Amino acid sequence: MDDDFVPPPVYDFISPEEISEINALGMPIYVGSNPPYSEGTFAMDSLAIHYDDAGDVGAVIPQDIVIADNYYDFNVSLCEYNSDSSSSMCTTQAYISGTRDCFTIFGIAIGQTGECEHDDVRIYSGCFDRYGDMINFYKAFFSIAQSGDCDALPPVGHLQIQAEIDGFSEWIE
């Protein structure tokens, strides 16, 4: 039987209401205390904006998502690498929930873009098919703090949800 478990540390950086809002905007959120073992590098080659609260639309630079799962205490790590090598990002804290083949990873990332330091909430959801490839991948992100010269970045609270349009993300290692 499915449960509504989300690792408690998640609520240190995102509220249940924010999670519900993201889910209502079309991003699946998988909760439960039995997430699948999630490890590997996955090619996101058809990412596009699913929702943007400023109205942005269009394709997103392809990227690889690398997930490492120690299968202990719902902790995982996750990094994103743009395929054109223009940027990368890794979570500093990340937690997984889900059931059977579907998962949601809730993470916080601390980064710097130019002269702007920023803290971002990042959420990733997907399922694994029987071959280990990821299907129905979504990610959402918004900044929760900024300092320095941040005029070129979206403001704190700006939400964007991206989806893998072809529904398939190949496991590449």
The pLDDT value given to residue 16? 95
The pLDDT value given to residue 172? 81
- Which position has the higher pLDDT, 110 or 53? 53
Share of the chain above pLDDT 70, in %: 97
In angstroms, the Cα distances linking 52 to 19, 142, 151, 160 are: 16, 10, 18, 4
pLDDT in tens, 87-104: 778 888 999 999 989 999
Share of the chain above pLDDT 90, in %: 64
pLDDT in tens, 23-72: 999 999 999 999 988 888 999 999 999 999 999 999 999 999 999 887 66
- Which position has the higher pLDDT, 173 or 49? 49
pTM of the model: 0.91
| pLDDT grade for 73, boundaries at 50, 70 and 90 | confident
Question: Do residues 62 and 43 make contact, with C-beta atoms less than 8 angstroms apart?
Answer: yes
Which residue from 37, 16, 32, 61 is spatially nearest to 171, judged by alpha carbons? 37
| pLDDT grade for 169, boundaries at 50, 70 and 90 | confident
Is 47 strand, coil or helix?
Answer: strand
| pLDDT grade for 111, boundaries at 50, 70 and 90 | confident
Is 2 strand, coil or helix?
Answer: coil
Is 76 strand, coil or helix?
Answer: strand
Buried b (16+ CB within 10 A) or exposed e, 116-150: bebbbbbbbbbbbeeeebbbebbbbbbbeebeeeb
Give 55: exposed, middle or buried? Use CB within 10 Å, 0-12, 13-18, 19+.
Answer: exposed
Phi and psi angles of residue 171, each rounded to the nearest 5 degrees, phi first: -75, 120
Give me 6's structure tokens.
């989300």
The pLDDT value given to residue 1? 40
Question: Do residues 140 and 22 make contact, with C-beta atoms less than 8 angstroms apart?
Answer: yes
Half-sphere exposure in the Cβ direction for 51 (13 Å, CA):
16
- The overall average pLDDT reported for the chain is 90
